[in-house]
Structure 1
Amino acid sequence: MNYLVRDWDQAVELYGRLSDLNPTVGLYWYRLGEALLRSKQYEQAIAPLKKAEELGSFQSTPPRMAHRGEVACLLATAFAALGEQEEARRWTRTALDQGLRDITKLRSAEFAELLEDPAFCKLVWQTDTQNLSRDEGYRHDLRFAVHELKRVHFSPFRATSEADIDAAVAKLEAEIPDLSEDEILTRFVAIISLFGDGHTRLQTATPQLPVRLFRFPEGLFVLGATSEHADLVGARILRINNCAAEVALARAESILPRENPMMPLWLSPSVLQSITMLRGLGIAPAEGAVGLQIEDASGQQRTVQLVAPDKPPWRGNLTYAVAGRDDSPPEYLRHLDKTMWHEVLPDGKTMYCQLNGIGHGTKTFQKYFEALFEEIEKGEIERLVLDMRFNGGGNTFLNPPLIEGLIRSEKFREPGNLFVITGRSTFSAAINTVGELERRTTAILVGEPPSSPPNFVGESVGVPLPCTGWEISISDLSWQTSFPMDYRVWISPTIYAPPTAETFRAHRDPALEAIFDYVRLNASPAG
């Protein structure tokens, strides 16, 4: 705890004792070295940091670690503070080569003397950007972004060759003077997508339409809308301005990564919700409202003009009730404002739990599932439906209370009592969780496949771009939560029950219907 609250003097004493008692644990040496460095005992910090670099620093329970390049960065800092410039340069290069997540750590006060050297400034991208022109500012951020993507990404050229990436960058650099900001941003997105995974992206907020779109087999539809546009829910999008919906979707797909065929189905509607992207793709005019030609749930066609609402739309503040219906939407669309919630379904024997994220902190997550399993054990519940179709991830390290609770419960040891619903929006930490459920429990997976493989390159390392104020996210980890020979493009559902516009407009849930069909077909004669 002394380390976590940054009481460096006590941390030095504690981790000094721990490293003496067990010199095989690299994390002890790492924390001792950092505590010494932060208390300005630079020379004494070097030996334990070198030991940490030799052993590696990781602890699984609770998860604690030094990411790639962090120990080398601390060594560079210590040598820089001591005035040993050659060693500082050597460890700086090591940290960069290892993929240090935050390059700005190599520009701290300890590096002041080195930062007087133009060569070192170039090495750590210390650049005065204040007086750059518009075009040079964009070019600087493009070069810096691609440099960091190549340096930090776990496998930068697995989807696109370096030569092809460089050619796309050179083309954009040359065309920047003739492009609007919206077009430049969209081209940035396209270049970043060449690195091939859904975590690596431009994560900058842009003005959004007041609707949430979804691709069904029947076409592009309005899944949800702000209250002012509730009459659009259930409508099919025919055209966006003068662009047919199919053409707009193809343009959206052209700037997206593709880990498997589900990913463009998931992400392309999000692109078309962004007014900036619509303009950058040439679908919407540079100014003014966005026109949607729709066919509503009653079959009537009309055109509506939409602008970005004052309050940014979010899945939790939209309505999902199809216009013209007086019944409630199905369970999976009722509480998207909540990370996790549950209820007993009308049959009295099925607990439905929707898990929309792996988050809210260790204690909250643990208490929630402890309470849920206690409720299940005490009642007449026979089966659990865990709905993860809209779970975009979070923190994989938080899922043990869920996984272990299911394993402990006698109610879920027989097949047919535990169902997990997945979909195209199941991603990241949710993929890891579904993979564990597939391997370690009797879960029957229902719905449609997720948008990435069970083993994937992921993580969200944020890198701010100084001139534009945009931020990119870089994947620097390879998540191997399945077996090393698992080359599937997705975790397939046992029961395939994809969403359709027909069932959505009828306020039906094909996944939940498929589960109850399975239960009825497999019920014992006595039941």
Structure 2
Amino acid sequence: MKKLFFLAAFLLLWQLPAQQKISSTQWQEDLRFLQETVHKDYSFLFKKVTAAAFDEAVEEFHKEIPQMQDHEVLVGFGRIIGMFKYGHTSVSFSESPVTYHKLPLNLYQFPDGLYITGAYKDYASLVGAKITAIEGMPTKEALKAIYPVVPVENEQFFKAYAGLYMVIPEVLHAQGITETLKQNISLSLEKDGKSFNSVVNSDGNLDTPVQYGELKPESDWVGVRDQSQNPLYLKNLDKIYYYEYLPEQKAVYVRHSQIQDDPSENIPSFYKRLFEFIDSNDVERLILDVRLNGGGNNYKNKPIVTGIIEHPKINQIGKFFVIIGRRTFSACQNLVNELDNYTNAIFVGEPTGENINFYGDNRRVELPNSKMPVYLSFAWWQDKPQWENGEYTVPHLAVESTFAEYSANEDPVLETALSFSSDNFIIDPMGYLTQLFMDEKYELLATEAQRLGKDPTYKFFNFEAEFNKAGYQMMNAGQLEGAVFVFDMNTKLFPESANAWDSLAEGYWKSGDLVKAKEYYNKAISLDPNGPTGDNARRMLSEMEGEH
């Protein structure tokens, strides 16, 4: 059986190694070894980055190594591997010969900013503060600076794990956030309506005591929440899964946070007991919460999926809800895909931290001189056809917790599932809009597209990309008039999108209206003068002029 051991491998990054001196020449040799290994044995990983772009980055890094300090080399390897953009493909900081340090803080990105949700007791006064700048650099810019180092599967993955890198002074220096390598980091903070600065000292001997990203109750660490009043998804974190009956809502809540057997009860036994309870009690709704679930062994998903299918009592739209989020990853993405394929689940929360189809299961590749391991994925997992692949699974009901809600132990995600009403709910927005088009209800289509696009319920649904894809499908099928209609509607919905205007221009070009095609290609160029869409529009204009 194949297992997706993402969490164990990823979290090893943060155990501190012993220092061992490696020469610049040896680092360069290790880089060449890595480059050759990727081309020879892992060339299939060139999906999100081209081999040419990878080699160009390697050459640049190779030239820079002699002028780099060891920690800059380590982070440089992180950037190289980060180009593949698969979370299972990463550099192990912990097993490298380079010493690094950590600020004793636990961070989390909320919709309203980056907050300190926990800290070592010496910095208890900082808990609950919003970080507005690091060493004078605004937080958004600092996050952008460290982005290339994180093995980013998608934006959700970055939200989940960027905090692990933001507290490492060596990363902050290598990515230009601090001018020199320093262990005392200045933070600009906001708390209780006041702005202030604080200097936090890193200590290589302090490991943040977390489980599923949440601070454990420890005497030397302070968290922002009252952990005696945990919401359901943060209760019983010593168990991989548990369930609780909510009689007022006639609902059963299940938190399942690894695709592994709990030592006290394996997955088949747990779900057998769960479904027996549902059969024997007044249950109208089942909520399966996998927002903290980073994966495990996807062969263990079967009893969950088949159990839902076998219970029509809850396998109905409006009766079965799955809570997903930024930490939903790896084997749990497989579970989400299977539930999406075979059940009537309504997904609630944030998008997942994993691509729908993805490279998982990695192999350890040890670099010859430094002995630093690099983990390279080799197994392609595809639960859905390639045209249904995407950056992540999008929730049908978009809900994010703010810092205020989190710190008060409120759970708006669960509340949304419990209070769901089917009134005016559209589980498949594009299917609904497509049917309006097929029924030639063009005015209603335009108004409904505007309404759904502004509805926060669908905030993670990429209407622009879906309309663009639909337009090209029609154009490729020779339905030029319909394609132009869809492209034109997209420009009305997203007037600042260069890509929408570029597509409309192509639609008019294919339809023979060169005047409008030229006008809209120039519009695309004006919106993206130095970017790839603008470059494409210029090429298309040149090609048009060559034809005529």
Report the CA distance between 1:147 and its aligned residue.
Answer: 2.2
Number of residue pairs matched? 396
Q: CA separation of 1:209/1:430 partners in 2, compared to 1, >3 Å: closer, same or farther?
A: farther
Matching residue of 1:342: 243
Secondary structure class of the residue paired with 1:164: helix
From 190, 194, 203, the counterpart of 1:308: 203
Secondary structure class of the residue paired with 1:155: helix
Q: Is the 8 A contact 1:154 1:476 kept in 2?
A: no
Matching residue of 2:187: 292
How do 1:115-154 and structure 2 match up within 5 A?
Answer: 134-153=23-42
Where does the alignment leave 5 or more consecutive residues of structure 1 unmatched? 1-62, 66-130, 523-527
Give the partner amino acid of 1:134.
Answer: S
Matching residue of 1:220: 114
CA distance in 1, matches of 2:247, 2:117: 25
Q: Is the 8 A contact 1:213 1:221 kept in 2?
A: yes
Matching residue of 1:366: 268
From 343, 351, 355, the counterpart of 2:252: 351
From 480, 489, 493, the counterpart of 2:391: 489
Matching residue of 2:520: none
Q: CA separation of 1:477/1:370 partners in 2, compared to 1, >3 Å: closer, same or farther?
A: same
Report the CA distance between 1:167 and its aligned residue.
Answer: 2.0
Q: CA separation of 1:184/1:456 partners in 2, compared to 1, >3 Å: closer, same or farther?
A: same
Matching residue of 2:526: none
Secondary structure class of the residue paired with 2:313: helix
From 208, 215, 218, the counterpart of 1:318: 215
Matching residue of 2:81: 192
Q: Is the 8 A contact 2:145 2:176 kept in 1?
A: no
How do 1:367-406 and structure 2 match up within 5 A?
Answer: 367-406=269-308
**Is residue 2:171 matched to residue 1:270?**
no
Instruction: State the Cα deviation string for residues 222-256 of structure 1 (Å, max 9, x = none).
Output: 23445665554432112223332122101011334
Identity %: 30
CA distance in 2, matches of 1:254, 1:417: 41
Q: Is the 8 A contact 2:22 2:370 kept in 1?
A: no
Q: Is the 8 A contact 2:363 2:376 kept in 1?
A: yes
CA distance in 1, matches of 2:232, 2:413: 11
Secondary structure class of the residue paired with 1:412: coil
CA distance in 1, matches of 2:2, 2:197: 56
**Is residue 2:56 matched to residue 1:155?**
no
CA distance in 2, matches of 1:384, 1:226: 38
Report the CA distance between 1:453 and its aligned residue.
Answer: 2.6
TM-score normalised per structure 1: 0.67
Instruction: State the Cα deviation string for residues 328-350 of structure 1 (Å, max 9, x = none).
Output: 34333344454323333473622
Moved more, 261-270 or 400-409: 261-270
Q: CA separation of 1:464/1:230 partners in 2, compared to 1, >3 Å: closer, same or farther?
A: farther
**Is residue 2:326 matched to residue 1:424?**
yes
Q: Is the 8 A contact 2:401 2:412 kept in 1?
A: yes
Q: CA separation of 1:137/1:334 partners in 2, compared to 1, >3 Å: closer, same or farther?
A: farther
Secondary structure class of the residue paired with 1:385: strand
CA distance in 1, matches of 2:334, 2:227: 38
CA distance in 2, matches of 1:324, 1:487: 37
Report the CA distance between 1:353 and its aligned residue.
Answer: 1.7
TM-score normalised per structure 2: 0.65
CA RMSD of aligned residues (A): 3.2
Q: CA separation of 1:325/1:402 partners in 2, compared to 1, >3 Å: closer, same or farther?
A: closer
Q: CA separation of 1:273/1:287 partners in 2, compared to 1, >3 Å: closer, same or farther?
A: closer
CA distance in 1, matches of 2:294, 2:2: 23
Give the partner amino acid of 2:251.
Answer: T
Instruction: State the Cα deviation string for residues 87-129 of structure 1 (Å, max 9, x = none).
Output: xxxxxxxxxxxxxxxxxxxxxxxxxxxxxxxxxxxxxxxxxxx
CA distance in 2, matches of 1:466, 1:460: 19
From 105, 122, 141, the counterpart of 1:247: 141
From 368, 382, 393, the counterpart of 1:480: 382
From 70, 83, 100, the counterpart of 1:181: 70
Matching residue of 1:332: 233
Q: Is the 8 A contact 1:389 1:426 kept in 2?
A: yes
> Whose RCO is larger (CA < 8 A, sep 6+)?
2
CA distance in 2, matches of 1:300, 1:133: 43
Report the CA distance between 1:149 and its aligned residue.
Answer: 2.5
Report the CA distance between 1:410 and its aligned residue.
Answer: 4.0
Report the CA distance between 1:380 and its aligned residue.
Answer: 3.5
